[in-house]
A and B are shown apart, each in its own frame.
Chain A
Amino acid sequence: MTEIRVPEGQWETDQEAALATWLYADGEAVSTGVTVCEIMVEKTSFEVPAPAGGVLAIAIAEDDVVVPGQIIGTIT
């Protein structure tokens, strides 16, 4: 199992980030490197690539606030 984490060091820590869009649904298969979700920081989006291939398990829902380093899902 590989954890998917919010990227670190890409925006100012006092800016609120939210999980904008999951491009795959919970339980769907993803391959390494595809964008699995996007994080939105003040109308700028950051892509989160799949760190591994496998079945996606989503831990954080769309619109929830997230912080750098936070685990937002796993790939098994």
Chain B
Amino acid sequence: MSSSDTQITAAPAERRLTIAKAMSEAIGQEMERDPSIIVLGEDIGKMGGVFGTTTGLHDQFGRDRVKDTPISETAFIGAAVGMAASGMRPIVELMFVDFFGVCMDAIYNLAAKQSYFSGGKVSCPMVLMTSVGGGYGDAGQHSQCLYATFGHLPGMKVVMPSNAHDAKGLMLSAIRDDNPVIFMFHKALQGMGWLGTIAGSITDTPDDDYVVPIGKANIVRQGSDVSIVGLGATVHHGLEAANKLAEAGIEAEVIDLRTIAPLDRQTIIQSVSKTGRLLVVDDDYLSFGIGAEVITSVCESGAAPLKCPPQRIAHPDIPIPFSPVLEHFILPDAKKIEQAVLSMMKAEK
């Protein structure tokens, strides 16, 4: 290697952020541009959010625009829906998606139906950001994903970044959208040390203004033998498995959904048309889930003749265990994906 090569390596132009920092940067930049944006939630003020989603915003914009709330999701998420109906653009944090039970009426009966029931006269430009996922021993009421629960209900968009670049771009899209957007972020990717962080989620993130469109999946690895569809943490497991499979001569295409609703069926169908094999991996409960929807979409299209039956890996239909041994036995990982693909290749006639 020449000395000039060494110099290039030593002077990168990139700036890496965690998803937490990417989210707070996006919100802060948009708050500067749009005075109608208000942030609400538990510990999102002085503390900057338990998951770092609002770091620095309280100091920058003050307590009138970055409001700590009492521990009543029923009250403050209901308040956010009302704010959105009266011309503000609230961003509200539901600390754990697991807590949705006490505020779901405001979300799916009010926010999601506002525009429809008013004949389009009253929109609901609200972002509800919420943490999902387990893997750190927080048991069955703090580790769920519930992608399908939210994706199932019409009137809301649901997004989920797998890395910091997409987190910022999706957040800017979500804030500017006139519909309610559920912005899910996975704890294993967030960049909070106490949760552990999958390294691939920390990516080069431009400090300027850009959007990642809602409803568009991303092919994060090209391949010709099998399509592995994931979102959030399972994208990284899929990539790890793909690298192992490549050693065995199997080239996997890995698709990051990025948006749960509306689902980008076209990108998935095109990929499976090329590979002929489909494996869907997510960490929500198995039945009636993302895997079922993706596989059905491909089968219904008739556009992709399959070389072997499509497969899905997800969390089994039981509450998430507290014991780390049991939890990791159950959660999707790269090894399970690798083994599933190997058996799919053998299943071919």
Contacts and interface: CB of A to CB of B under 8 A. Distances in A.
Interface string A20-36: 11011100011100110
A55 B10 contact: yes
B16 interface: yes
Nearest to B55: A45
Contact of B194 (A30, A43, A53): A43
B15 interface: yes
If over half of B's interface residues share one DSSP class (helix, strand or loop), that class is named, otherwise mixed; here it is: loop
Nearest to A25: B199
Contacts of B202: 21, 23
If over half of A's interface residues share one DSSP class (helix, strand or loop), that class is named, otherwise mixed; here it is: strand
Contact of B192 (A29, A31, A35, A40): A40
A21 B197 contact: yes
A18 B193 contact: yes
Contact of B16 (A19, A23, A63): A23
B48 interface: yes
Contacts of B52: 45
Interface string B40-73: 0000000110101001000000000000000000
Contacts of A35: 16-17, 21
Interface string B202-217: 1000000000000000
B1 interface: no
Contact of A40 (B10, B13, B193, B199): B193
Interface residues of B, number: 23
B12 interface: yes
B9 interface: yes
B11 interface: yes
Interface in A47-71: 53-55, 62-63
B163 to A, nearest CB: 12
Given A25-B199, A44-B48, A20 B193 contact: yes
Contacts of B15: 34
Given A40-B194, A44-B48, A63-B193, A21 B10 contact: no
Contacts of B199: 25
A40 B48 CA distance: 13
Contacts of A18: 193-194
Contact of A21 (B13, B18, B47): B18
B151 interface: no
For the complex of A and B, list the 8 residue pairs with the smallest distance between their C-beta atoms, beginning with the closest: A20-B193, A40-B193, A23-B16, A29-B10, A21-B193, A29-B12, A23-B202, A21-B197
Interface of A: 18-21, 23-25, 29-31, 34-35, 38, 40, 43-45, 53-55, 62-63
